Chain A
Amino acid sequence: GENVEQHPSTLSVQEGDSAVIKCTYSDSASNYFPWYKQELGKGPQLIIDIRSNVGEKKDQRIAVTLNKTAKHFSLHITETQPEDSAVYFCAASRDNAGNMLTFGGGTRLMVKP
């Protein structure tokens, strides 16, 4: 089955700096990669996703890059703000696995004002 590893587990940055979270996956057939943000005491919210037919996707301060050859994808947050502080999860799925997502272990991002 699929295995998704996420690094780092915690990340502390100064407000205004950039943050990068990386995930690697094991199944070369995976073709859908969403990212979720979970604030304290709440359910995860989808913030951006990418499919394997593109290498990069951007939405304002958030971008995701995908390297299919190396089987890794990354979340980039620029100009970080205190409200970006949360736990971020990456995930992966493939066509012949139904709707199932395999999640990474999560990254706790702390943005210091």
Chain B
Amino acid sequence: DGGITQSPKYLFRKEGQNVTLSCEQNLNHDAMYWYRQDPGQGLRLIYYSQIVNDFQKGDIAEGYSVSREKKESFPLTVTSAQKNPTAFYLCASSIHLNYGYTFGSGTRLTVV
């Protein structure tokens, strides 16, 4: 079955540590996205990538980094520079223009 997989489902990070969230898709989608969702809030765009080896900052990119070395993979690193990283992180992909996104099941990151 085709789909988009995020791992891990739950992640705990100590203050000052970097952590990387995985996002893999086998849908052959060109574009991939990372969103952050805080409790009771909407979706805020962190980074997006329209094609391999290219990515762009979204609305809240500070404290985050990404890479897009393969079409299937778009990992997100939450760095120690992100002051309030506790949130639900969603990865999505889309095939091309004017089609809906397919979302992963999310990773809940908690700073302890």
- Whether, in the assembled complex, B48 has its beta carbon less than 8 Å from a beta carbon of chain A, the answer is yes
**Does B106 contact A95, Cβ atoms closer than 8 Å?**
no
The segment from B14-22, B66-74, B76-84, B89-97 found at the interface with A is B89-97
* CB within 8 Å of B: which A26-73 residues: 31-32, 34, 36, 41-46, 49, 51
> For B53, what are the chain A residues with a Cβ–Cβ distance below 8 Å?
none
> For A31, what are the chain B residues with a Cβ–Cβ distance below 8 Å?
98
Closest to A96 in B: B97
* Docked complex Cα distance between A34 and B50 (Å): 19
The listed residue (A51, A89, A106) touching B98 by CB distance below 8 A is A51
**Nearest 3 A-B pairs (CB), nearest first?**
A43-B103, A32-B98, A34-B100
**Does A101 contact B101, Cβ atoms closer than 8 Å?**
yes
* Interface residues in chain B, defined as those with a beta carbon under 8 Å from any beta carbon in chain A: 6, 30-31, 40-43, 48, 50, 90, 92, 94, 96-106, 108
**Does A89 contact B97, Cβ atoms closer than 8 Å?**
no
* Docked complex Cα distance between A100 and B100 (Å): 9
> For A49, what are the chain B residues with a Cβ–Cβ distance below 8 Å?
100
**Does B105 contact A99, Cβ atoms closer than 8 Å?**
no
* Docked complex Cα distance between A32 and B95 (Å): 14
**Sample of 13 A–B contacts (CB below 8 Å):** A32-B99, A34-B100, A41-B106, A42-B106, A43-B90, A43-B103, A43-B104, A44-B101, A49-B100, A95-B97, A95-B98, A99-B97, A101-B101
